[in-house]
Amino acid sequence: DIQASSDVEILNPEQHIATVGPDGRLNMEMIVRHGRGYVSAEQNRTESIPVGYIVTDSIFAPVRRVAYNVSNARVGQMTDYDKLTLEVWTNAAVRPDDALAYAAKILKEQLTIFINFDESEEVESRSLDTPIEARPQLNENLFKTVDSLELSVRAANCLENANIKYIGELVTKTEAEMLKTKNFGRKSLNEIKDILAEMGLSLGMKIDGFDPSMLRQKENESN
């Protein structure tokens, strides 16, 4: 059995790890990471992995199964409507309705390109069009939008409601300030802190030379 700390929850304790004989004992250390989708063992192999560790494939997808059904529906006297029924199973890392909402959010973002064909396909250029020479000492992630963090639906909506668009704006906020945001809880806070840490960033940072108003102005001009 995995002896996890109080801040770690094992979502699938039934997962088979190894077979040990009646008199056998198995002790191991595990390295746990965030991820998305499927990652092969070769992709997981980095120079930071200690000698003696066994690298395995990773499946980070929380959605286990999806089923749908389209049936006839009646609204008043109208009978030419369709009813869509979705069934979503997850591993409890995310709620089914949150998974569906996030999928819809991705689909919406992908389809916006068809609204205006004159828009540039270089989406990231809107946030990274400041010459690198003008900001050599700053982490490049600061100029990306918070959408690039690929947060859960709840956390993403909280940042949107708080009008936090760029990572550079986010990291200047303290934990106390974030927890005052409507519907923003400790779980969302820890999620953001973990992702920022992977980028070499953290909350409560003081950043000289970062002006989000200039980024917003350039984005408005490009639109």
* Average pLDDT of every residue of the chain: 81
* pLDDT reported for residue 113: 74
Can you give the length of the chain in residues? Answer: 223
Q: Give the tokens for residue 218.
A: 């350039």
Place of tokens 């992977």: 198
Would the pLDDT of 69 be above 90? yes
**Which residue type sits at 63?**
V
Please enumerate in sequence order all residues whose Cβ is within 8 A of that of 11, keeping only pairs 6 or more positions apart, or say none. Answer: 91, 92, 93
Q: Give the tokens for residue 72.
A: 């006839």
Does residue 17 lie in a domain region?
A: no
Q: Indicate which CATH number applies to the domain containing 205.
A: 1.10.150.20
127, 194: one domain: yes
151, 101: one domain: no
Does residue 39 lie in a domain region?
A: no
Q: How confident is the model at residue 61 (pLDDT cuts 50, 70, 90)?
A: confident
Q: How confident is the model at residue 137 (pLDDT cuts 50, 70, 90)?
A: low
Q: Is 155 exposed, middle or buried (0-12, 13-18, 19+ CB in 10 A)?
A: buried
Answer yes or no: are the C-beta atoms of 71 and 82 closer than 8 Å. yes
Q: Is 58 exposed, middle or buried (0-12, 13-18, 19+ CB in 10 A)?
A: middle
* pLDDT reported for residue 70: 94
Instruction: Tell me which of 40-44, 51-55, 108-112, 194-198 is least confident.
Output: 108-112
162, 74: one domain: no
96, 140: one domain: no
158, 208: one domain: yes
Q: Give the tokens for residue 163.
A: 């009008």
Could you give the number of structural domains in the chain? Answer: 2
- 131 compared with 10, residue with greater pLDDT: 10
Instruction: Tell me which of 46-50, 79-83, 142-146 is least confident.
Output: 46-50
The fraction of the chain above a pLDDT of 90, given in percent, is 10
Q: Indicate which CATH number applies to the domain containing 108.
A: 3.30.1360.10
- pTM for this one? 0.47
- 138 compared with 97, residue with greater pLDDT: 97
85, 176: one domain: no
Cα Rg of the chain (Å, integer):
22
d(CA 14, CA 204): 39
Closest C-alpha among 213, 171, 160, 219 to residue 196: 171
Query: Structural domain of residue 77, as residue ranges?
Result: 63-114
Does residue 69 lie in a domain region?
A: yes
* pLDDT reported for residue 27: 87
